[in-house]
Amino acid sequence: MKEYFRYFRWMYLILAVMAALLGFLCVGHWGLSRMLHYERTNQSCTTKERVFDYGDVLTDKEEDKLRKLIAKREAQTGCDIVLITLEESLKEYARGIEPGVGYHEFVRVYAEQFYEENQFGYDRPNGDGILLVDNWYREEDGRIYTWLCTTGRVKEKYSDQAVDHILDNIYRYVEHDPYLAYKTYINDFYHDMLGIQVFHYYVPRSAAWIIGFVAAVLFAVCNGRSKKGVKTTTALTYTGGVSPVFRVKQDRFLRKSVVTRRIQRSSGGTGGRSGGGGGGSHGGGGHSR
């Protein structure tokens, strides 16, 4: 057993250092969250409401819990956090503002107009903030659409990958537990804006290959230093000192027969995924289900 630990001591040391670093970041994350408290400077916002459950997918108790959580996270991030649920077609509304806009951007138009009309923004009208529109109505193209609208400092913070990540987390729960999905939206945003991103971060697919390669190199280095095995048997060990006799068998090739057939092939195609981005002073992205 001691030999086993000796061979892998460097791997265990690296894991221990990584665990200590993660623990340090977690403690720092907790301490920073207790210290931060932004003062709201936007006095022009037309409403104090943050949870607009027009789609009626939440209970009154769940709405109150989300309001309290949002108030706490807004003070910690210095950003407005808004949630809207709908269950209605936005086709006529969106195309009345932006003629010809596609189905996947109806929620974008709604989100940006709602943000601007109510002058959301923690620091100033149309300033720092985020707004989620989840429309439960199935549009004519058969899809249900969601949009995450980012403005001000949030727009600068969130890359396309970060937007996809938070929407993926929301979609993980939204169909069977909307409250948990929207709570995840609020908490994910809070962790992302704190900048440390201990628990919520985007991991590229290439990371799996890199981790596997590093693990393979460590294994090879640790085991390459071990002693070579000692030869304990030979060809005569189990024959009483008499050389073994091997009978030789051969297969002879006599003739060849070739048959050809024509195979008919059919043509086909593959589909793709497209998306849109916010206009003006807004950013963000959307998903559908």
Give the per-residue pLDDT at 194.
Answer: 86
Give the per-residue pLDDT at 250.
Answer: 64
What average pLDDT does range 101-113 have in this prediction? 96
Q: Is the pLDDT of residue 277 over 70?
A: no
Single-letter residue type at 10: W
What average pLDDT does range 29-58 have in this prediction? 84
Give the per-residue pLDDT at 223.
Answer: 58
Give the per-residue pLDDT at 270.
Answer: 30
Instruction: Please give the share of the chain, as a percent, with pLDDT higher than 70.
Output: 58
Q: Is the pLDDT of residue 258 over 90?
A: no
Residue 244 lies in a domain: no
Q: Is the pLDDT of residue 179 over 70?
A: yes
Give the per-residue pLDDT at 37.
Answer: 80
Q: What is the mean pLDDT of the chain?
A: 79
More confident residue, 165 or 252: 165
Specify the pairing of strand 145-151 against strand 51-53: unpaired
| Three-state secondary structure readout of 60-125 | HHHHHHHHHHHHHHHHHHCCEEEEEEECCCCHHHHHHHCCCCCHHHHHHHHHHHHHHHCCCCCCCC
Residue 147 lies in a domain: yes
Report field, pTM of the whole predicted structure over 0.75? no
Residue 236 lies in a domain: no
Residue 134 lies in a domain: yes
Residue 146 lies in a domain: yes
More confident residue, 187 or 281: 187
Give the per-residue pLDDT at 72.
Answer: 96
pLDDT in tens, 148-176: 999 999 999 999 999 999 999 999 999 99
Q: Is the pLDDT of residue 206 over 70?
A: no
CA 53 – CA 68 distance, rounded (Å): 15
Domain at 42, CATH number: 3.10.310.50
Q: Which residues pair with 147 in a beta bridge?
A: 133, 286
pLDDT in tens, 265-274: 333 333 333 3
Domain count of the fold of the chain:
1
What average pLDDT does range 217-234 have in this prediction? 58
Give the per-residue pLDDT at 216.
Answer: 65
pLDDT in tens, 135-155: 999 999 999 999 999 999 999
Give the per-residue pLDDT at 274.
Answer: 34
Q: Is the pLDDT of residue 245 over 50?
A: yes
Q: Is the pLDDT of residue 27 over 80?
A: no
Give the per-residue pLDDT at 14.
Answer: 73
Residue 213 lies in a domain: no
Residue 178 lies in a domain: yes
CA 157 – CA 163 distance, rounded (Å): 10
Instruction: Print the domain residue range for 99.
Output: 36-203+279-288
Residue 24 lies in a domain: no
